[in-house]
């Protein structure tokens, strides 16, 4: 099994923060740490330190996963979050800037999510 690079880990963590920013803010009771991660990403700076601080704050609330543990639980192609088999479409919505690993299957109902970093809707791409 290959190792996960720091860039992959940061991209996965940023994906979690982007997708769940409002929920994380509510759980923490403030937005400073979330805003710190998103602000660093908007400025094109490394997000690792800000993610580490946010991860620790989430753990301190009693959440056993934090940012990095949540990143490992994201959808796996062919399996829904509930574990029910699904056949994904041939298209996916991805981060419009390529800053993170956030995605959503194109066939999921509802509006296309908006990137918390750029403010643009996720970009539709066809899978190879």
The answer, yes or no, to whether residue 6 has pLDDT greater than 70, is: no
pLDDT tens digits, 29-78: 989 999 999 999 999 999 999 999 999 999 999 988 888 877 655 543 44
Strand order in the sheet with 91-94: 103-105, 91-94, 123-126
| CA–CA distance, 9 with 43 (Å, rounded to integer) | 19
pTM of the model: 0.74
- Check residue 37 and give its pLDDT: 96
Q: Is 125 left (phi over 0), alpha (psi -120 to 50) or beta?
A: beta
pLDDT tens digits, 102-113: 888 888 889 999
């Amino acid at each position: 099994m290959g190792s996960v690079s720091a860039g992959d880990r940061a991209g996965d963590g940023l994906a979690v923060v982007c997708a769940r920013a409002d929920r994380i803010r509510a759980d923490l009771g403030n937005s400073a740490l979330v805003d710190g991660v998103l602000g660093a990403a908007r400025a094109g700076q490394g997000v690792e330190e800000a993610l580490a601080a946010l991860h620790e704050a989430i753990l301190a609330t009693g959440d056993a996963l934090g940012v990095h543990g949540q990143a490992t639980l994201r959808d796996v192609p062919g399996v829904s979050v509930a574990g029910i088999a699904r056949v994904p479409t041939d298209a996916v919505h991805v981060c419009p800037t390529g800053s993170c690993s956030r995605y959503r299957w194109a066939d999921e109902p509802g509006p296309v999510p908006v990137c918390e970093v750029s403010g643009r809707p996720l970009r539709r791409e066809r899978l190879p």
